[in-house]
Amino acid sequence: MSNAITATGEKPLTPALLRELSVRSDRQGLIRAASHYGVIVVMGTLIWLVSSRYGIAWALPLIVAQSYFVAFLFMVVHETAHKTAFQSRGLNLALGHLSSFAVFLPYEYYCLFHWDHHRYTQDPARDPELLSVPIPRSDTGLAFSYTGLRQVAFRVRLLLRHAVAGNARSPWIPESKRHVIVREARLYVAFYTVLLLASLVLHTSILLWVWIVPAIVGQSFLRPYLYAEHTGCERTRSAFQNTRTTYTGMFVKWFAWNMPYHVEHHAYPSIPFHALPKLNQIVADQIVYRGPGYVAVTRDTWAWFRRARTEA
């Protein structure tokens, strides 16, 4: 697992301070979750009203805006996978499954995938994030990767492989958990099917425009953000060297659940999202990769992918 030892061999936090920062809060989690889902409900209502009165074309700007908020429900999945969104385990599980369902990424599967990502961060032979996202071989392929559509296709294929074929063989899925992953996928597919049939019976396409299309389009916002977390960083065990923190505005930090403080998260994954800004104040000077914003970092990650392709 990525460790919290800095490039100079120091451990920035004392055990007492780590315990203090690791206190979880239902209140903080509920405020963040209510605001995130609240915006989605408001935007969805506006899309429905505008499209009903004026036609779907007039609602397209709202759909694009909605896509950002829906796609970034992935950050809810991430925080609940660590069981740090709330103090209550039940709330973590409930919101985790709801958000996973919304972004087509089954929760129990993601927990296993993400656990191995933390164990083997930046290890090209064992980090699931590197194994599942190969370096594009052309600029066209690279541009396509930044749309996130490759990940959408991967999630759909994975879900069907688990649900239909019953095949849950991956390096990060223990044999004892395979039946859990298959059952989960089949439940997700069953609920998706119910919603599809209900939409057909009711002759409505509202879910398509307030949820499905935004979830797909929103990957073009999410994918560059995710590439910023580790792309171009060193392949070492230290979270202070193998991960990037990107400094950005309050809007992005709020809906990304403070995960732009990603070095801090990888160094101390037990610390909940709401304590990461305070942690950053303590460890900022030890961070090797500090991004000055997502536009600049995206330029850097794009250039890194091009260099890596030519050096391969």
Within-domain flag for 127: yes
Helix axis angle, 178-202 to 107-119, nearest 10°: 140
The whole-number pLDDT of residue 309 equals 86
Q: What is the pLDDT of residue 196?
A: 98
pLDDT score for 148 = 95
* pLDDT recorded at residue 311: 73
Q: Is the pLDDT of residue 6 over 80?
A: no
Express each pLDDT in 148-185 by its tens digit.
999 999 999 999 999 999 999 999 999 999 999 999 99
Residue 229 resides in a domain: yes
pLDDT tens digits, one per residue of 176-192: 999 999 999 999 999 99
Helices of type H across the chain = 15-21, 26-54, 60-71, 74-81, 89-102, 107-119, 128-132, 139-147, 149-160, 178-202, 206-207, 213-217, 219-227, 239-242, 250-255, 262-267, 276-283, 294-311
Please write the tens of the pLDDT for every residue from 23-37: 999 999 999 999 999
Residue 5: inside a domain:
no
Q: Which residue has the higher pLDDT, 218 or 10?
A: 218
pLDDT of residue 70: 98
What backbone torsions phi and psi does residue 245 show, to the nearest 5 degrees? -100, 130
pLDDT at 220: 97
| Domain containing residue 45 | 15-311
Q: What pLDDT is recorded for position 7? A: 65
Question: Is pLDDT of 294 > 90?
Answer: yes
66-92 core/surface letters (b: 16 or more CB in 10 A; e: else)? bbbbbbbbbbbbbbbbbbbbbbeeebb
72-126 pLDDT, tens per residue? 999 999 999 999 999 999 999 999 999 999 999 999 999 999 999 999 999 999 9
Which pLDDT band holds residue 312 (cuts at 50, 70, 90)?
low
**How does residue 266 score in pLDDT terms, banded at 50, 70 and 90?**
very high
2 occurs within a structural domain: no
For residue 312, give every residue at least 6 positions away whose Cβ sits within 8 Å of its Cβ, in sequence order, or none.
135
**Above pLDDT 90, what percent of the chain?**
92
- Percent of the chain past pLDDT 70, that is, above it, reads 97
Task: Look at the chain and report how many structural domains it folds into.
Answer: 1
Mean model confidence pLDDT for the chain: 95
Read off the tokens for 34. Answer: 């209510």
On whether residue 4 sits in a domain, the answer given is: no
| Average of per-residue pLDDT across 255-277 | 98
- Domain for residue 84, yes or no? yes
**Structural domain includes residue 126:** yes
Report if residue 6 sits inside a domain. no
Whether the full predicted model's pTM is greater than 0.85, yes or no, is yes
Q: Where are the alpha helices (DSSP H) in 237-289?
A: 239-242, 250-255, 262-267, 276-283
